[in-house]
Structure 1
Amino acid sequence: MEVTYGLMIAIGAITYYAWQRPEIHQKLMLNTHATFHQRQLERLITSGFVHNNGIHLFMNLFTLYFFGGAIEEIFNAYFGSSGNFLYVLLFLSAVAVANLPTLFKQKNNPNYNSLGASGGVSALVLAFILFDPLQELCLYGLLCLPGYILGALFIAYSIVMGKRGGDNINHDAHLFGALYGVVFVLILKPSTLETFISTLF
């Protein structure tokens, strides 16, 4: 869990620091206009280390603790000394990739901002489901379902809400982060798909 704890501390510390300094908070979040037109591409990743408020931060850290820790353990078991590197690579690249659809969709909107680690966290959740689809997962400790069902509901929900919009949540980042987590795992370990299917059927 060392890497997961490190990520949690980094996200929490940077978020808190940015809360005290609004100019830093603004500079780190994903402003799509500045990111695209001024080539401030670092925002694709730095936006994953700042959050709107305590609830936003807590929910991402809470999910990161459980699923990040599980993926850290799985990656170390499968990939040995490269496991931690691949885990961090998955998380950071997922944050960036999850932001890309929003970047291109909102590139000419100077008032659009997005922030939070949700894209990276979503990638970890779906990666875990791919490795262990029958493991029961509990949504906010209330609704408990096998991982593959919860994953399917999550993707469907993200698609519907992404099209509807209007709730100030970047559902596209959730969706594309989740899909990227699946692709990342299948590139690293293609046999995971066969195992996933055989587990279900």
Structure 2
Amino acid sequence: MEEKEIQTFSKREQKKQLNRQNIINAAIQLFSSKPFSEVSMRAIAKDANVSPGLIYQYFDDQQHLFMTAFKIESTNLLNALRQTIEIQDDQLAVIARKYIDYMFRHDNLYQMMTYFMLENDHHGSVSAGLRNITDDLFAIFREALSKHLPEKQLKSAAQLFFASLNGILITYKNLPGRSQEATWQHIEHLVEVLVATIKRAYPE
């Protein structure tokens, strides 16, 4: 292949990668601003500045695009939690704080998860994909909880821990009348109470 052909091929590949990234970025913004069912491929194409037909060269459908966007956002969370659990002794407290801190500071992931959880309609492939991600998250929670709970209770405890942390976020993250710093301090306090309650129930 001649040098000119190589350069043309390279530029074409770069353009394809740029289009794909722009589509994903637009999807993340839209899926974090409104419910899944209200986000159309046409709207994503408009925000990504590409034609609607071009999206289907990269993604099969809306569900495929949502899962791609969600995996990118959630992988960063999972990596942050895994790094934390490897270096800390008091894993439960640190994991709880890290999860809350990440979701509090990274609004895209928090909003995408919240909107999808509150949807009335179930979307098959997306629900299955989310289960795979939450399974990875629950595995991290189970490891952190294993110092405080018997093995037979770890599965249910991880699910309850996840629901409790998200419940704190949903209830207080956007509560009016407080500064962001005051809100964060209150959320942090509630997480400390949650962890202390678990430790009192099952001391090491």
Please indicate, yes or no, whether the TM-score normalized by the shorter chain is above 0.5: no
More helix by share: 2
- TM-score relative to the length of structure 2: 0.32
Q: Which has the larger radius of gyration?
A: 2
Q: Bigger relative contact order, structure 1 or 2, given CA contacts below 8 A and separation 6+?
A: 1
Question: TM-score, normalization: structure 1?
Answer: 0.32
